[in-house]
Amino acid sequence: MNRAIHVAAACTVDVVGVRNSAGTTVDWQQLDVDPQRARIAWREEFGGDARAFRRLDPTTRMVWIAAAACGLDELPEPLRERTGLVLASASGCLAADLRFAAGLHVTAGIEPALFAYTLPSTALGEVAIRHRLRGPTLFLSVPSGREAAGVDAGLDLISAGEADAALVLCGGWLPAVVAEPVGAVAETRIDALLLRLAEASATPTISPSDGAALLEWARSETAGHGDRPADPA
């Protein structure tokens, strides 16, 4: 099935802050937030209700922020029924794995609530619960530099009729302070795209087979703090 798709929003969450294609910029330093050291607090700039934010692990918190920056709070209710979630990451839930494992060897150090976050798809489940999304959920473990596979997967979900929209997250959150002691590669950036079926008046559309180019385009949009994106040629 040939289904026309467009990009509704894009954002980047990294060590500097949050930037999205609507022109919103959040600077961690100005907010006294340091996500590299797990000091991550929900701010009013992110919008919406975040009463559950405190119980999330750091990686899931960053995924939540990326989802909010892509405007999921604004999705119409009928579309939520058919909005999928995709996360492509090289680090996955390794930060939670390491923290939980360390707690097993420290007296009174076990964190039972953390165990749920040692599954890499849990972050997507938390986003789905918060935004009432009921479409398919997919986590992809990919080599560093191959995160665009997530964009391809999101495009495929819509093209195949399994979803009418998809939030695609590429990257992860494994700060150097956590990664280096175990010889892992740090990953402190999440790029997100909200893909939707194009409305009859929305032209041009994008190619469902061009995930890598689309991810690079989205990164350039957030780097420039531009307006809401038009679809790439």
CATH of the domain at 206: 3.40.47.10
pLDDT at 200 over 50: no
Which of 54-63, 168-177, 183-192 bottoms out in mean pLDDT, i.e. has the lowest?
54-63
Q: Please say whether the beta carbons of 77 and 66 come within 8 A.
A: no
pLDDT at 209 over 80: no
Average pLDDT of every residue of the chain: 84
Question: Considering the domain boundaries, does residue 231 fall inside one?
Answer: no
Phi, psi of 138 (to 5 degrees): -145, 125
Question: Considering the domain boundaries, does residue 122 fall inside one?
Answer: yes
Average pLDDT over residues 146-155: 94
Question: Considering the domain boundaries, does residue 229 fall inside one?
Answer: no
Q: How many CB atoms lie within 10 A of CB 106?
A: 8
Provide the whole-model pTM: 0.86
pLDDT at 114: 76
Question: Considering the domain boundaries, does residue 230 fall inside one?
Answer: no
pLDDT at 168 over 60: yes
- C-alpha atoms less than 13 angstroms from C-alpha of 66 in its C-beta half-sphere: 34
pLDDT at 97: 76
Question: Considering the domain boundaries, does residue 203 fall inside one?
Answer: yes
pLDDT in tens, 97-122: 788 887 777 666 666 677 787 888 99
Q: Which letter does DSSP use for residue 56 in this model?
A: S
Confidence class for position 216, pLDDT limits 50, 70, 90: confident
Question: Considering the domain boundaries, does residue 233 fall inside one?
Answer: no
Where do the H-state alpha helices sit in the chain?
A: 28-31, 58-69, 77-80, 94-103, 122-131, 149-159, 176-179, 211-223
Confidence class for position 229, pLDDT limits 50, 70, 90: very low
Question: Considering the domain boundaries, does residue 92 fall inside one?
Answer: yes
Question: Considering the domain boundaries, does residue 220 fall inside one?
Answer: yes
Number of separate domains in the chain: 1
Residues 6 or more apart whose CB falls under 8 angstroms from that of 87 comprise 63, 120, 121, 123, 124, 138, 139, 140, 150, 168, 169, 170, 172
Residue 189, SS3? strand
d(CA 59, CA 172): 7
Domain range for 12: 5-224
Tokens coding 110: 């076990």
Q: How many CB atoms lie within 10 A of CB 124?
A: 23
Average pLDDT over residues 135-140: 97
